[in-house]
Amino acid sequence: MGSNEIVVGVDGSEVSLTATRWAAREASLRGAPLRIVLAYEWAWHGAQFTNNPPAEQTAHEQADRQVAAAVAEARAVAPDIAISSAAVRGRPAETLMDTARSAALLVVGSRGHGGFVNLLLGSISQQVATHADTAVAVVRGRTGATEGPVVVGVDGSESTGHTLDIAFQEAAARGATLVAIKAYELPVVWTGYGVGAQAYDMAEVEAHDRQLLTEAVAPWHDKYPGVKVETLVAKGLAAEALVGVSETAQLVVVGTRGHGGFAGLLLGSVGQQLLHHAHCPVLIARTPTAH
């Protein structure tokens, strides 16, 4: 049975504390409880450079201190929310996904301790965003933005309704405008001499996609009448359009995967690119049947 709880993963890094502050604000907006979780192993960053291998108790005490610091950050941002916390020995990605299995949202930073400094997305964040059973927010870019719209990518796939529902909820909670974007590319054909663009009436193609976008948004606009909605049809790659608009947005919402690609993929290429390049936090609106 699901709950409205928000779970955030921490590891003591500044990135994870930023994610904690974002998660606390999100919990306050939703009127939801927040659970802060730190999962550690023996190769945990805070213990691996001591002269002697630390005892489990020592490692756990260090983890408890970092969890306490995260709780303090959350309370400073949102003193009105209920907060619980835990430091657990285990694999971080697996522990977070298990803890958040019945939660409404799992929040992680774009990267934490370990790995290579030039990586745009940490391995734990990547695993969680790809495999979690619940919606996942990866906090990156302009993490403190409270102005600007909530942006949602619409592609007409089966998950579009669920993605739009979550995007409208986020916009309503923030009192923000919702910008729904549908991107299109002109099909190409084999001409005998190579691959080339087929002749299309650009105005007709755009009008067709605009109609599809309007029809997709309409039911949710009726459900959330207080949310101002703007629709945008963009020529080109969906990921490029969404990354571009994210420069002025406070949140981008996308589904797990849409049309195209391989059916076995758990997260589509648009979601993957946003996790690496978006200028604001990204929410992956995973559907309960996504796996």
**Tens digit of each residue's pLDDT (9 = 90 or more) over 23-55:** 999 999 999 999 999 998 755 455 454 555 556
Most confidently predicted of 54-58, 129-133, 238-242, 279-283: 279-283
pLDDT digits (tens, 9 = 90+) for 226-247: 999 999 998 888 889 999 999 9
| Mean of the per-residue pLDDT values of the chain | 83
Rounded mean pLDDT of 243-261?
82
Q: How far is CA 47 from the centre of its chain?
A: 30
Asked if 32 and 97 sit in the same domain, the reply is yes
Asked if 132 and 162 sit in the same domain, the reply is no
pTM: 0.84
Asked if residue 289 is part of any domain, the answer here is: no
Asked if 191 and 263 sit in the same domain, the reply is yes
pLDDT of residue 209: 83
Cα 9 to Cα 5, 23, 108, 197: the distances in Å are 13, 10, 5, 46
Asked if 87 and 126 sit in the same domain, the reply is yes
Helix (H, G, I), strand (E, B) or coil at 196: strand
Give me the residues paired with residue 6 across strands: 34, 105
Asked if 121 and 246 sit in the same domain, the reply is no
Asked if residue 1 is part of any domain, the answer here is: no
- Total residue length of the chain: 291
Q: Does 119 score more than 70 pLDDT? A: no
Asked if residue 70 is part of any domain, the answer here is: yes
- CATH number of the domain enclosing 274: 3.40.50.12370
What is the DSSP code (8-state) at residue 198? P
**Total Cβ atoms within 10 A of residue 26:** 26
Asked if residue 26 is part of any domain, the answer here is: yes
CA atoms within a 13 Å half-sphere pointing along the CA-CB vector of 288: 5
pLDDT of residue 121: 46
Q: Does 1 score more than 60 pLDDT? A: no
Asked if 105 and 51 sit in the same domain, the reply is yes
Cα 109 to Cα 254, 275, 280: the distances in Å are 17, 10, 12
- Domain total in the chain: 2
Q: Does 65 score more than 50 pLDDT? A: yes
Asked if 63 and 186 sit in the same domain, the reply is no
Rounded mean pLDDT of 93-106?
94
Range of the domain at 247: 150-284
Rounded mean pLDDT of 85-101?
92
Contact 126, 93 (CB under 8 A): no
Asked if 11 and 132 sit in the same domain, the reply is yes
Asked if residue 291 is part of any domain, the answer here is: no
Asked if 207 and 253 sit in the same domain, the reply is yes
CA 32, CA 39: separation in Å to the nearest integer? 22
Domain boundary among 139, 170, 194: 139
CA 264, CA 1: separation in Å to the nearest integer? 26
Asked if 115 and 179 sit in the same domain, the reply is no
Asked if residue 145 is part of any domain, the answer here is: no
Rounded mean pLDDT of 209-231?
91
Asked if 38 and 111 sit in the same domain, the reply is yes
Asked if 164 and 135 sit in the same domain, the reply is no
Question: Where would I find the beta strands (DSSP E) of 68-162?
Answer: 83-89, 105-109, 136-139, 150-153
Tokens representing 253? 């919402």
